[in-house]
A and B are shown apart, each in its own frame.
Chain A
């Protein structure tokens, strides 16, 4: 249509006096009549009225008007009305524009002349724009006949039942373990005083049983895409670890669960177990395990259930504790003694006082559990596995593989099994008897250990009856020593020195011994030298004490035994006479820049050499694998560090069927890492032998301990860590008796009780042992469901204001000051006191003050009125009177009792003798042992003080803490208080700003139960109206690409938030193409296109530029 044929009709609305009072409507009309292309301009009292609409239709028909501008209210109000007028008159509804001269003009100014000018400018802009507008066709798409209801409180329940009863399918997503929401927590409801649970639970049961409702409890909506009628919703189903269908709700599991945490349902007034059901009438009635992650478990290289065995010790269940440990590792006694316990470094108890003595507790369990030798495991697999090396890595792999049913042979070159555990760690730290018992248990299970059986060629084993080989020969070769005089007699390597003494061979130790190094081997060698008869033993270490890799307690023990530590020194020369060591020359060091380990790099201080009289020097400067042991094997590669190269996840070497782990692959060299490697290898070997993929589905722990946030329960008292009892220095320094004596039963239980239960569920598995239907599955994984949804109803509810934010009320500081929801639980027959209203000491209060508007109508908290608290407070006053007969004072600002039966209830509680004092409670203080409420009695105009036994703070309703996140997921907006924003405060109070998403209940604003139910049902009616229509019109405001101008630069593709643009390769020239179904018409791509190739329908550059020129024309 060319512009010459364009005939614009302009209609200026008076809107009664809403516009006409401030804008000279006649003048606006007169100006409009002079504008180019305007064929007719009129003004009328109410353009939206029937006669107003007819006026437009008539002009279209009779004058041939083909563009329409209405200057009236906001297009958000009446654009659809007038578009329908055009349509009725046979004109495309997109040949229409609106000038907003009411909301944006007449209502915001009092200056008539200026407002009239402004209205004229807005009309000029609209006329200039409408000329360029193009005919568009709205798309009609079908509506998926199902609804999503988010939130299982009374609002969600009501709405879901309404929709389901009408015959449509409803998915109800509830974040908690049960539906019921806040209403389930209430005792009675005002003003009728009927029992909240009694009227709610039948509806909950209906939801649970309704054939049209799929209840997704313990689930959250993760993502919403699509558009009205056609949403795609991703729901994350959190693992319950209990099979919902099988659980009978018998409660046996909770009885044995050792972990207690504050009950959310009881407002932390009681405890619940880690396996729990929030309340007796929960729907679904199945139990749920509250399982998070604990820093100790994720830090442990072998991911042992640390919290579990500690929880069992705390319960006195030592045998069960040991069994839990042995389910994962064979070396409970060993680890309990020699583990470097990285878990303790990350223990959150550190934030209170000191970390839990985890390793010592493990030792306690191992030493004190009932002695049950294991029964042999039958060989059920035909494949056989060879393990080379009987250290912790090799034996752990053997332990796991035997338990899987494989035949396993362990080849050990030395005459003693245990690897470094046997020959590297001295007897006084790890008695041989203890180690041998654990090795014997592995043998009893069925592993064969061949001593004195050196394997020179791992590959050869594959040809002699073994289908897989795990190499774990450790690192039994000392580090390189580069000091003149190293070949003198009396110079040893610590690894050799410890091995020989451990094997019972005497090593000639002189009187004056120097040990070089700062690791555990150095400290061990020094203490062994002392026990072998040395008179003086000194350790020389090139860095500082805090940099020593040795376990701190071992260092302290060594010092206590008289070993001298020299820091920041390193040997430069060993001198001798007749081939024997006589003197050690050292030099002082200084630390400079930090190295990769975060420690200072040592540099020698020139000229600071000094000598010490010494006859024995032991070097403990690292250890390397002796790969000559397996030199015959082919296919694996050796790294520059002299270790075997493996895949870090699977421990596969380059040779098929050969795996390697432990010190020989260059791990950090701790026992627990070797054990972890053994476990890893066992999984890989099993997968390899069964022909499964070695990597698929193997999850690596990516979370770091520091990522875990643990809320330390209020009132956790400081209780320092239990110290380890030790042999007195005199009793130990000249023999090999075990130094650490272990905890007593009382010490162990007390120490175990310090655990903060970071992960809640400790994975002790006691619940499994008592569950008859066998419905507990600790390995359950999170599931993600994808749902096709036509309409969404949000009923996510509210939170309560928390009183500590207003310190004048001293909540949490003084006893017997409680929040209103806590009072509900106190009052409830199923609550922590069985429905008795009592004070902390168990006495019944004789006087109670209820303070209204805590956190509401308060410029220091929330400015709004929470609407329910007045009635709620009066109901509570009635309950206090009924249950205790106490004198009750209500301190209020205004009483808001506007509802059916509310005013009558107000009168009733007054008659019952409740005293109403007009004036906000200003402060609650403690005078002696007496709580005193201070307030102003505004009626009398003077301050008052009320001594009372108990104070109830009527805390207001606030938006959910995560309402911003939820709003983001659903692409809806929030009001200034965080509640979800309705589309119109009067006419669309249950519509969000996004089509197809509706709001029900307190997620939109505070309201009481009757109003919540009404609001939710109304929202359900909107959902039903959409679903019943079966189809929906989509505005055609999508982006469009002009292929002739597109240069395929892809800028738009990277900007589009909906992945709606792709490069189309159909033609010779590749150009970007818009998927109209995905495009939402935001226009971000249009503004960014450097070629000007994109435009959004109805918001083209031309249209907007014309409007700009229009409003600015003079």
Chain B
């Protein structure tokens, strides 16, 4: 392992807007750090809190959830469900000693390749500053 800390980020992207947005970043050859591994889900509302927890448990330093912009959801309102779930989950994570900033929910449309890249860049830097997630210590119960 190199001396420089390279964050591991798992991204859950909805099939309709954000996954296409990430595809567009690729077709447009927009560059962003290779730290994110993208997992496709049909809707951001499908992102079960256990997916996020599993990712942190298995070594992720950050988790990014992306869905359609409010009002644009392919399934009418799945993104609103994510919009309610993720903030709750953040609160829970902070009680487990995981900084809230390690979990992020962003709206990325199919035409926002540039925006997706910018989000990944920003998040990678943010998680890099936070450092590796210490899964064996820290936190109020650690």
Say whether A724 faces chain B, with CB atoms less than 8 Å apart: no
In the complex with contacts A973-B109, A1083-B46, A1087-B48, A125-B37 CB distance below 8 A: yes
- By a CB distance below 8 angstroms, the chain A residues around B10 are 1108, 1111-1112
- By a CB distance below 8 angstroms, the chain A residues around B132 are none
A-contact 0/1 string along B27-53, CB 8 Å cutoff: 101111110011111110111111100
- By a CB distance below 8 angstroms, the chain A residues around B93 are none
- By a CB distance below 8 angstroms, the chain A residues around B41 are 1083, 1099, 1104
**Contact at A1112–B55, with CB atoms within 8 Å?**
yes
Say whether B66 faces chain A, with CB atoms less than 8 Å apart: no
In the complex with contacts A973-B109, A1083-B41, A108-B75 CB distance below 8 A: no
**Contact at B75–A976, with CB atoms within 8 Å?**
no
Say whether B8 faces chain A, with CB atoms less than 8 Å apart: yes
- Interface contacts (Cβ under 8 Å), in number, total 154
- By a CB distance below 8 angstroms, the chain A residues around B33 are 109
Chain B residue at minimum C-beta to C-beta distance from A1105: B54
Say whether A1048 faces chain B, with CB atoms less than 8 Å apart: no
**Contact at A1108–B54, with CB atoms within 8 Å?**
yes
**Contact at A103–B26, with CB atoms within 8 Å?**
yes
In the complex with contacts A973-B72, A1057-B77, A1108-B51, A1084-B45 CB distance below 8 A: yes
When chains A and B are docked, how far (Å) is the Cα of A974 from the Cα of B70? 12
**Contact at A1101–B48, with CB atoms within 8 Å?**
yes
A-contact 0/1 string along B55-79, CB 8 Å cutoff: 1001110000000100110111110
**Contact at B109–A1087, with CB atoms within 8 Å?**
no
**Which residue of B25, B43, B59 has the most chain A CB atoms within 10 A of its CB atom?**
B43
B-contact 0/1 string along A967-1005, CB 8 Å cutoff: 110010111100001000000000001100000000000
- By a CB distance below 8 angstroms, the chain B residues around A100 are 23, 38
- By a CB distance below 8 angstroms, the chain B residues around A114 are 6, 34
- By a CB distance below 8 angstroms, the chain A residues around B27 are 103, 107
When chains A and B are docked, how far (Å) is the Cα of A45 from the Cα of B99? 44
Say whether A38 faces chain B, with CB atoms less than 8 Å apart: no
> In chain A, residues 1073-1114, which have Cβ atoms closer than 8 Å to a Cβ of chain B?
1080-1084, 1086-1088, 1096, 1099, 1101, 1104-1105, 1107-1109, 1111-1114
Say whether B127 faces chain A, with CB atoms less than 8 Å apart: no
Residue A1084 contacts which of B31, B46, B58, B117 (CB distance < 8 angstroms)?
B46
**Contact at B48–A1086, with CB atoms within 8 Å?**
yes
**Contact at A1108–B39, with CB atoms within 8 Å?**
yes
Chain B residue at minimum C-beta to C-beta distance from A109: B34
Say whether A248 faces chain B, with CB atoms less than 8 Å apart: no
Question: Looking at the complex, which of A115-123, A303-311, A530-538, A812-820 is the stretch in contact with chain B?
Answer: A115-123
B-contact 0/1 string along A82-116, CB 8 Å cutoff: 00000000000000000010111101111100110
In the complex with contacts A76-B20, A104-B22, A108-B117, A971-B74 CB distance below 8 A: yes
Say whether B98 faces chain A, with CB atoms less than 8 Å apart: no
- Min Cβ gap B43→A in Å is 4
**Contact at A1081–B72, with CB atoms within 8 Å?**
no
- Min Cβ gap A996→B in Å is 13
**Contact at A976–B71, with CB atoms within 8 Å?**
no
**Contact at B30–A108, with CB atoms within 8 Å?**
yes
**Contact at B29–A107, with CB atoms within 8 Å?**
yes
When chains A and B are docked, how far (Å) is the Cα of A490 from the Cα of B68? 79
Residue A1096 contacts which of B16, B39, B46 (CB distance < 8 angstroms)?
B46
**Contact at A1057–B76, with CB atoms within 8 Å?**
yes
- By a CB distance below 8 angstroms, the chain A residues around B111 are 973-976, 981
Residue A1083 contacts which of B20, B42, B55 (CB distance < 8 angstroms)?
B42
When chains A and B are docked, how far (Å) is the Cα of A577 from the Cα of B7? 100
Residue A974 contacts which of B19, B20, B22, B72 (CB distance < 8 angstroms)?
B72
**Contact at B34–A1080, with CB atoms within 8 Å?**
no
When chains A and B are docked, how far (Å) is the Cα of A971 from the Cα of B68? 12
**Contact at A973–B38, with CB atoms within 8 Å?**
no
Number of A residues near B (Cβ < 8 Å) is: 55
Number of B residues near A (Cβ < 8 Å) is: 52
When chains A and B are docked, how far (Å) is the Cα of A118 from the Cα of B26? 14
- By a CB distance below 8 angstroms, the chain A residues around B103 are none
**Contact at A111–B39, with CB atoms within 8 Å?**
no
Say whether B91 faces chain A, with CB atoms less than 8 Å apart: no
Chain B residue at minimum C-beta to C-beta distance from A1084: B45
When chains A and B are docked, how far (Å) is the Cα of A1088 from the Cα of B49? 9
In the complex with contacts A74-B23, A973-B68, A1088-B81, A993-B39 CB distance below 8 A: no
**Contact at B46–A1087, with CB atoms within 8 Å?**
yes
- By a CB distance below 8 angstroms, the chain A residues around B77 are 1057
Say whether B100 faces chain A, with CB atoms less than 8 Å apart: no
Say whether B106 faces chain A, with CB atoms less than 8 Å apart: no
- By a CB distance below 8 angstroms, the chain A residues around B58 are 1108-1109, 1112-1113
Say whether A548 faces chain B, with CB atoms less than 8 Å apart: no
**Contact at A103–B23, with CB atoms within 8 Å?**
yes
Say whether A600 faces chain B, with CB atoms less than 8 Å apart: no
- By a CB distance below 8 angstroms, the chain A residues around B109 are 973-976, 981
Say whether A75 faces chain B, with CB atoms less than 8 Å apart: yes
A-contact 0/1 string along B115-129, CB 8 Å cutoff: 001000000000000
Say whether B90 faces chain A, with CB atoms less than 8 Å apart: no
Say whether A379 faces chain B, with CB atoms less than 8 Å apart: no
When chains A and B are docked, how far (Å) is the Cα of A102 from the Cα of B27? 9
When chains A and B are docked, how far (Å) is the Cα of A197 from the Cα of B98? 67
When chains A and B are docked, how far (Å) is the Cα of A785 from the Cα of B21? 37
- By a CB distance below 8 angstroms, the chain B residues around A981 are 109-111
**Contact at B75–A1057, with CB atoms within 8 Å?**
yes
B-contact 0/1 string along A895-921, CB 8 Å cutoff: 000000000000000000000000000
When chains A and B are docked, how far (Å) is the Cα of A507 from the Cα of B47? 85
When chains A and B are docked, how far (Å) is the Cα of A939 from the Cα of B59? 61
B-contact 0/1 string along A807-837, CB 8 Å cutoff: 0000000000000000000000000000000
Say whether A1055 faces chain B, with CB atoms less than 8 Å apart: yes
Chain A residue at minimum C-beta to C-beta distance from B26: A103
Say whether A964 faces chain B, with CB atoms less than 8 Å apart: yes
**Contact at A1114–B46, with CB atoms within 8 Å?**
no
**Contact at B45–A1083, with CB atoms within 8 Å?**
yes
When chains A and B are docked, how far (Å) is the Cα of A75 from the Cα of B13? 13
Residue B37 contacts which of A109, A121, A964, A967 (CB distance < 8 angstroms)?
A121
Say whether A164 faces chain B, with CB atoms less than 8 Å apart: no
**Contact at B78–A1104, with CB atoms within 8 Å?**
no
In the complex with contacts A104-B23, A108-B34, A993-B110 CB distance below 8 A: yes
When chains A and B are docked, how far (Å) is the Cα of A1105 from the Cα of B45? 16
**Contact at A1055–B40, with CB atoms within 8 Å?**
no
Residue A118 contacts which of B23, B34, B40 (CB distance < 8 angstroms)?
B34
- By a CB distance below 8 angstroms, the chain A residues around B112 are 976
- By a CB distance below 8 angstroms, the chain B residues around A1107 are 39
Residue B31 contacts which of A109, A118, A121, A1108 (CB distance < 8 angstroms)?
A109
When chains A and B are docked, how far (Å) is the Cα of A103 from the Cα of B34? 12
- By a CB distance below 8 angstroms, the chain B residues around A111 are 34
Chain B residue at minimum C-beta to C-beta distance from A126: B39
When chains A and B are docked, how far (Å) is the Cα of A104 from the Cα of B37? 8
**Contact at A1114–B117, with CB atoms within 8 Å?**
no
Question: Which A residues have a C-beta under 8 Å from some C-beta of B?
Answer: 74-76, 100, 102-105, 107-111, 114-115, 117-118, 121-122, 125, 964, 967-968, 971, 973-976, 981, 993-994, 1037, 1055, 1057-1058, 1080-1084, 1086-1088, 1096, 1099, 1101, 1104-1105, 1107-1109, 1111-1114
Q: Lowest 6 CB-CB distances: which A-B pairs, in order?
A: A103-B26, A1083-B46, A1084-B45, A1082-B75, A107-B26, A1082-B43
**Contacts A971-B75, A1080-B75, A1086-B48 supplied; 4 other A-B pairs, CB < 8 Å:** A103-B25, A1087-B49, A1101-B50, A1112-B8
Q: List 24 A-B contacts (CB under 8 A).
A: A74-B26, A75-B40, A107-B27, A108-B34, A108-B117, A109-B33, A110-B31, A114-B34, A115-B34, A121-B37, A122-B37, A122-B38, A125-B39, A964-B71, A973-B72, A975-B110, A1058-B76, A1082-B46, A1082-B75, A1082-B78, A1107-B39, A1108-B10, A1108-B54, A1114-B59
Question: Which B residues have a C-beta under 8 Å from some C-beta of A?
Answer: 6, 8, 10, 16-17, 19-20, 22-23, 25-27, 29-34, 37-43, 45-51, 54-55, 58-60, 68, 71-72, 74-78, 81, 85, 109-112, 117
